[in-house]
């Protein structure tokens, strides 16, 4: 399926250009990015990416690990929104096994090409990558057990449509596990958000309240939106994110757990889980 370019708005085009360049330059890190793993990938516990070749593991523009909270089971069908270089699909493919399958969707041709080449190199035949938009997912209704996504939904210019599409795609009882930068307060309304801030996964972030209410409007239940303190802790331990020296690691992580009480505006990686109710 090819994207009807007419359905892409200027934000899609800017994001596609940004991540096309990222793929062409083989992951050299983007400016102002809240989601970039230039060297060692500390987004995941080491056992999750164990055995994945370094060039695949380090090509990651995620904000956390959505695969572990997805608790995939053998035989399940998983859908990865904005699959990029394919890392989460490859991790998921090992977990759903030969009887399961994983579909990655992305709109950027360079990302699709890279993920398809790597799937072949890794000899994974239960993974496929489809070209498409999050706002018009190229999958049948009620066909997916689990949706994962890593640092992508914030980039969409039409998040309510993305949530509707996620709900449509899932089987009744299906679940989502998403990593995404989320803010603790509404972001100031920019008249013209800076393009690099949007593409770098900060300016498009939803607040926790809006995230929850839009998921609820789409029909999701059992919605949990929590700061991903595990990933942030791993990033601090590896020196990729630094706590101000006067703040102890545990104090900072504890503050982040109570992020709603902070006066300061923060956009940090969150884990979002929810289910599509099963009326049976
Ligand atoms: C920040 S990167 C994350 C890639 C991958 N999930 C990872 O963890 O490395 C965002 C990816 O989402 C894709 N993307 C962003 N918005 C999209 C949209 N509305 N529809 C389809 N793909 C989108 C981009 O092309 C890019 O590959």
The DSSP annotation for 105-128 comes to EES-HHHHHHHHHHHHHTT--SEE
Residue in 84, 88, 118 to alter for ligand 1 test, most ligand atoms within 8 A of Cβ: 84
- CB of 27 closer than 6 angstroms to any ligand 1 atom: no
Residue nearest to ligand 1 atom 26, measured at CA: 84
What tokens does 201 get? 């996964």
Contact 231, 65 (CB under 8 A): yes
Closest CA to 272 of 140, 163, 127, 156: 163
- CB of 234 closer than 6 angstroms to any ligand 1 atom: no
Quick one: pLDDT band at residue 2, thresholds 50, 70, 90?
very low
CA of 106 to the centre of ligand 1 (A): 6
The number of residues making up the chain comes to 280
Planar angle of CA 176, 177, 181, nearest 5 degrees: 120
- CB of 163 closer than 6 angstroms to any ligand 1 atom: no
Contact 198, 219 (CB under 8 A): no
Say what the pLDDT of residue 254 is: 78
Mind listing the pLDDT tens digit for each residue in 161-204?
Answer: 999 999 999 999 999 999 999 998 888 766 566 888 888 888 89
First to last CA, the chain: 33
Q: What is the mean pLDDT of the chain?
A: 88
Instruction: Give dist(CA 26, CA 22) in Å, integer.
Output: 6
Find the range with the poorest average confidence among 19-23, 95-99, 237-241, 266-270.
Answer: 237-241
Q: Is 86 left (phi over 0), alpha (psi -120 to 50) or beta?
A: left
Say what the pLDDT of residue 5 is: 46
Domain ranges of the chain: 5-275
- CB of 78 closer than 6 angstroms to any ligand 1 atom: no
CATH of 5-275 given 3.40.50.150, 3.40.50.720, 3.40.50.1980, 3.40.50.10860 = 3.40.50.150
Inform me whether the pLDDT recorded for 34 exceeds 50.
no
Sequence-distant (6+) residues with CB within 8 A of 49 are 41, 57, 87, 91
Quick one: pLDDT band at residue 7, thresholds 50, 70, 90?
low
What number does the ligand 1 atom closest to the CA of 162 have?
19
- CB of 231 closer than 6 angstroms to any ligand 1 atom: no
Contact 87, 115 (CB under 8 A): no
What tokens does 76 get? 């399940």
Mind listing the pLDDT tens digit for each residue in 217-275?
Answer: 999 999 999 999 888 888 887 766 666 555 667 777 777 778 777 777 888 999 999 99
CA of 251 to the centre of ligand 1 (A): 33
Say what the pLDDT of residue 257 is: 79
């Amino acid at each position: 399926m090819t994207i009807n370019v007419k359905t892409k708005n200027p934000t899609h085009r800017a994001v596609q250009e940004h991540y096309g360049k990222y793929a062409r330059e083989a992951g050299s890190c983007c400016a102002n990015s809240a989601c970039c793993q230039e060297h060692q990938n500390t987004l995941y516990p080491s056992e999750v990416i164990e055995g994945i070749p370094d060039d695949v593991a380090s090509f990651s523009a995620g904000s956390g690990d959505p695969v572990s909270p997805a608790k995939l089971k053998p035989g399940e069908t998983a859908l990865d929104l904005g699959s990029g270089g394919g890392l989460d699909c490859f991790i998921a493919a090992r977990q759903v096994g030969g009887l399961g399958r994983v579909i990655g969707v992305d709109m950027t041709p360079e990302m699709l090409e890279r993920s398809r080449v790597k799937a072949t190199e890794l000899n994974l035949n239960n993974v496929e990558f489809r070209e498409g938009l999050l706002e018009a997912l190229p999958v049948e209704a009620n066909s997916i057990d689990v949706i994962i996504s890593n640092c992508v939904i914030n980039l969409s210019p039409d998040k309510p449509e993305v949530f509707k599409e996620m709900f449509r795609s899932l089987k009744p009882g299906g679940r989502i596990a998403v990593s995404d930068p989320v803010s603790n307060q509404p972001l100031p309304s920019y008249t013209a958000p800076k393009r690099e801030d949007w593409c770098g996964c900060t300016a498009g972030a939803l607040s926790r309240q809006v995230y929850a209410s839009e998921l609820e409007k789409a029909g999701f239940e059992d919605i949990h939106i929590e700061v991903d303190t595990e990933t942030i802790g791993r990033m601090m331990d590896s020196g990729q994110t630094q706590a101000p020296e006067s703040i102890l690691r545990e104090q900072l992580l504890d503050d982040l757990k109570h992020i709603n009480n902070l006066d300061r505006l923060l956009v940090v990686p969150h884990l979002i889980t929810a289910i599509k109710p099963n009326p049976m």
